Amino acid sequence: MDTYIINGRHKLDGSIRVQGAKNSVLPILAATILNAGTSIIHNCPELRDVEAALKILRYLGCSVIRQGDTIYIDSSQLCKCTIPHSLMREMRSSVIFLGAILARTGEAVVAHPGGCELGARPIDLHLKALSTMGAEIKEYAGNVSCAAARLRGSIIDLSFPSVGATENVMISATTALGTTVLHNAAREPEIYDLQCFLNSMGAKISGAGTPVVTIDGVHSLHNTEHEVISDRIASITYLACTACAGGEILLEGTIPDHYRSVTDVFCRSGCTVTTGKDYLRFRCGGELKAVSPIVTSPYPGFPTDAQAPVMAALTKSKGITVFIENIFENRYRHVPELISMGANIRTEGRTAIVTGVSALHSASVSAADLRGGAALVAAALGAEGESIVSGLSHIDRGYEHFDENLRKLGASIYRINDTYRSEQNGTKEKAPQNAQ
């Protein structure tokens, strides 16, 4: 397993182009099943989760070719309607394939995605919506099966604006008989991107980005080409890294409008943010100030995915910041690791109280989930001395060229594998320049 060796306190400076959005490309890849034809998707980041989705598409019988950041999918030869546990467990969000396979073939059997590092993560809202649309649902031996010769348009009211359930409804209702009206839909930018993709292949969907999405079912779809939006969480993570290490960076190809709730927090804590339609300049010159409580909530509220990286930045602020995590019950697994680096954080259920300290010190820490792992990297970039971050398989799920981008900005971060480390027999040597 690989680890990052990070020497902290190097100011970040320079510009990088932000990757395509993981949370957009995943539902879009699932939706390519619908048109029984070709889809050309641009701006697809190279990530472990994207590879897992491509593996599922290939397993189902689709032809998949990647050339750089463009993926060509031909779903005309799709021949299976099941996803086995071995593929489902690689990525929890593969539940998004459920609606797509069902709509295309009339039947779908997927292994229950089960819990994950963030908590229980039930799929009841997905299943209830599909059942309302006429699917017959059975759960047995760790599998979920759905069957419906053709789904029917329905009125669906989500009890919570679940991102995944909204996507599953949009995808499965695209070719349903009649109109589906989805109330209390998630409003994330990735939902709007999915609408753009589906409409580009002939769907008739409106309202994405508002709480009511209307899907007029169509009989057939055609080939399409689409460019995935920029990843707002990756952008936020680079800001958090800069807030930890200090410095000034320019993010290109980003959409600052998609993460105002987070840049507002950074501005209130003393950072400077200048934005254009597709760029953001960020400067953190000195000590951050604590801010009023940060409460995670569905978009356009403060994103749960930004909680850990922003917490890392505020560990060195002046004063006390309270975090309240309202989306996932188990999303403070980075906290003990940050404490081992000298942070002062107390958690009580969904609340974390961060009392700023003047400095963090190096430590050997381990990522327990994707965004928590990114937070540890950010913290290490601002800590005195050499830190080791392990558990990179989590970070690889969501960040493309992470260490490379950070080095481009002047960070001292190197990826090495355990063999190299054990060869050093415990003697701490500087990572070689070419270790990646």
Catalytic residues: 116
Can residue 284 be called a binding residue for ligand UD1 (CB under 6 A)?
A: no
> Contacts with ligand UD1: how many residues (CB under 6 A)?
20
* Sole binder of ligand UD1 in the list 162, 235, 362, 390 (CB under 6 A): 162
**231: enclosing H helix or E strand:** none
Can residue 328 be called a binding residue for ligand UD1 (CB under 6 A)?
A: yes
Residue (127 or 383) nearer to ligand UD1, CB = 127
Residue (48 or 316) nearer to ligand UD1, CB = 48
Residue (125 or 243) nearer to ligand UD1, CB = 125
What are the counts of helices (DSSP H) followed by strands (DSSP E) for the chain? 15, 24
Residue (248 or 369) nearer to ligand UD1, CB = 369
CA distance 267 to 41: 35
In this structure, the number of other CB atoms found within 10 A of the CB of residue 136 comes to 11
Can residue 305 be called a binding residue for ligand UD1 (CB under 6 A)?
A: yes
* Sole binder of ligand UD1 in the list 65, 124, 204, 206 (CB under 6 A): 124
Measured from the CB of residue 426, what is the shortest distance to ligand UD1 in angstroms?
Answer: 37
Measured from the CB of residue 328, what is the shortest distance to ligand UD1 in angstroms?
Answer: 5
**Residues 90-119 within binding reach of ligand UD1 (CB under 6 A):** 93
Q: List the structure tokens of 382.
A: 């601002």
CA distance 88 to 52: 9
Taking the alpha carbons of 11, 316, 322, 312 in that order, is the dihedral positive or negative?
A: positive
Can residue 122 be called a binding residue for ligand UD1 (CB under 6 A)?
A: yes
CA distance 278 to 46: 21
Can residue 121 be called a binding residue for ligand UD1 (CB under 6 A)?
A: yes
Which listed range, 55-63, 277-285, 299-307, 381-389, lies at the site for ligand UD1 (CB under 6 A)?
299-307
CA distance 7 to 1: 20
Residue (286 or 349) nearer to ligand UD1, CB = 349
Q: Which of the 8 DSSP states describes residue 256?
A: G
| φ, ψ of residue 283 in degrees (nearest 5) | -135, 135
Measured from the CB of residue 318, what is the shortest distance to ligand UD1 in angstroms?
Answer: 29
Measured from the CB of residue 190, what is the shortest distance to ligand UD1 in angstroms?
Answer: 6
* Sole binder of ligand UD1 in the list 304, 307, 366, 387 (CB under 6 A): 304
* Sole binder of ligand UD1 in the list 103, 163, 338, 411 (CB under 6 A): 163
What does each C-alpha distance from 103 to 50, 106, 128, 219 come to in angstroms?
A: 22, 6, 16, 11
Residue (12 or 88) nearer to ligand UD1, CB = 88
CB within 8 A of 435, min separation 6: which ones?
Answer: 5, 414, 415, 416, 420
What does each C-alpha distance from 393 to 1, 51, 127, 332 come to in angstroms?
A: 8, 13, 30, 18
Measured from the CB of residue 208, what is the shortest distance to ligand UD1 in angstroms?
Answer: 14
Can residue 262 be called a binding residue for ligand UD1 (CB under 6 A)?
A: no
Measured from the CB of residue 233, what is the shortest distance to ligand UD1 in angstroms?
Answer: 7
Can residue 126 be called a binding residue for ligand UD1 (CB under 6 A)?
A: yes
Q: List the structure tokens of 97.
A: 């394939």
- Name the residue whose CB lies closest to ligand UD1: 164
Measured from the CB of residue 207, what is the shortest distance to ligand UD1 in angstroms?
Answer: 18
Alpha helices, H only, 75-160: 85-88, 97-105, 124-132
**Residues 41-100 within binding reach of ligand UD1 (CB under 6 A):** 93
The 11-30 contact track toward ligand UD1, x by CB under 6 A, reads: ------------x--x----
CB within 8 A of 118, min separation 6: which ones?
Answer: 328, 329, 330, 331, 369
Which 3 state secondary structure label does DSSP give 291? coil
CA distance 411 to 381: 7
**Where on the chain is the footprint of ligand UD1 (CB under 6 A)?**
23, 26, 93, 121-126, 160, 162-165, 186, 303-305, 327-328
